[in-house]
Structure 1
């Protein structure tokens, strides 16, 4: 279980290509134009517009998409979504180079009035075309939410009640 968490932490490190100044998690919260220090249990990654703190759920911490969203909100964050094509590409490269045993992890993507969107009110974000897996979205089993397949790192519509791991992100 710890190995999988280490793999996810490695994903975030590769995702944005930086570590904190001391190269480890920090217990303090601070934010300035050049560095983010995250709360305990979160990791600081990124530069420029991709400065975020990430929280990766433990292997046994699986939730439906709505409960994962609530968990991220309770942690003063939001359920993961790719900010841009760079973040999406880095994730895909990481997943392809590592073996992750869970089949999916939740993103904040979902259908709202028959349109795909990221986030929830009042924090909705423009939906940029994700890297859909072949044949997706297919609406199978009322798949109204977007999860990322860990094998291939492609997006897949899934029933929102399915329980998967999740990643939160925050600016602090």
Structure 2
């Protein structure tokens, strides 16, 4: 019986450890089922995308008003001019898609008169002058960025 209790305790400890590991890493912020990193560094849209991939994440795809409000609040706190998001209309002008999944943007949070720069601006930002609502900007510009990593839900693995 003592051995069975030890195995049960070990199993519970491993499950609890797995739960901790699945949370956001240091410096990232949790909202719903994702972890976010609002960068302190700046990069072009393509560079930002690669940095996020190197961090095992992607540029953020904002799909709900709640998610947008969370990111706006964090952006206000950091007070940076602009943050790159995952959206682009590089393939077809004025057809905005998330590169992470190819889906058209359904939830929209454009600032006044945006998108407004046509073929010269094909990448999506949260723009400070619009209260961090969205704007289209030239992809070569250098801004801060938001990385997003989805967190596993209920996939605790028992090891051993």
Q: Please give the TM-score of this superposition, normalised by the length of structure 2.
A: 0.70
Q: Hey, what does 1:85 align to over in structure 2?
A: 65
Name the structure 1 match of 2:85.
107
Q: Whose strand fraction is larger, Structure 1's or Structure 2's?
A: 1
**1:167 corresponds to 2:146:** yes
Q: Which residue of 1 aligns with 2:10?
A: none
Question: In 1, distance between residues paired with 2:103 and 2:18?
Answer: 25
The alignment covers a number of residue pairs equal to 132
In structure 1, stretches of 5+ residues that fail to align are 1-28
Deviations 1:21-70 (CA, angstroms, capped at 9, x unpaired) = xxxxxxxx9569xx941234433x13xxx311122212xx1100011001
With over 3 angstroms needed to count, the CA separation of the structure-2 counterparts of 1:95 and 1:57, relative to structure 1, is closer
Kept in 2: contact 1:140–1:158 (CA 8 A): no
SS at match of 2:99: strand
Higher helix proportion: 2
Note if 1:142 corresponds to 2:120.
yes
How far did 1:141 drift? 7.5
Larger Rg: 2
CA RMSD of the aligned region, Å?
2.7
Does residue 39 (structure 1) correspond to residue 39 (structure 2)? The answer is no
